[in-house]
Amino acid sequence: MTCTKESVMIDGVEVVLNEEMNETEIAAYIAYGREKYAGKIIEGMEITVDGDDVNLTYHFAAVPFQRIRRITGYLVGTLDRFNNAKHAEVRDRVKHNYA
């Protein structure tokens, strides 16, 4: 099947084309991106054909970020795994204000 100049959804990825292209070729570009950027989720991509060149632009899903702090000598994101002694250290520690 040939996809026309538009936005098309293939294998869970929204693909924007500037020229007609075979669906098998688009799927190969998606597979290439998933292999090259393993660990990232591709939400969309733009395929721009310029003569003999094909420019691929991938759009990735946002990565959740958790704040990491150094508390009582440990790098932690949350305090939920601390025992009672570590909770007491956190409660009793001196917090410094920056001017």
pLDDT tens for each residue of 40-84: 999 999 999 988 999 999 999 998 877 787 777 778 878 788 889
Give domain status of residue 98, yes or no: no
Give domain status of residue 30, yes or no: yes
Residues 30 and 7 placed together within one structural domain of the fold: yes
Residues in the chain: 99
Residues spanned by the domain of 70: 64-92
What is the DSSP code (8-state) at residue 18?
A: S
Which pLDDT belongs to residue 89? Answer: 84
Q: How far apart, in whole angstroms, are the C-alpha atoms of residue 23 and residue 31?
A: 12
Give domain status of residue 88, yes or no: yes
Give domain status of residue 9, yes or no: yes
DSSP string, 26-75: HHHHHHHHHHHTTTS-EEEEEEEEETTEEEEEEEEPPPP----EEETTEE
Residues 55 and 74 placed together within one structural domain of the fold: no
End-to-end CA distance of the chain: 65
Residues 79 and 38 placed together within one structural domain of the fold: no
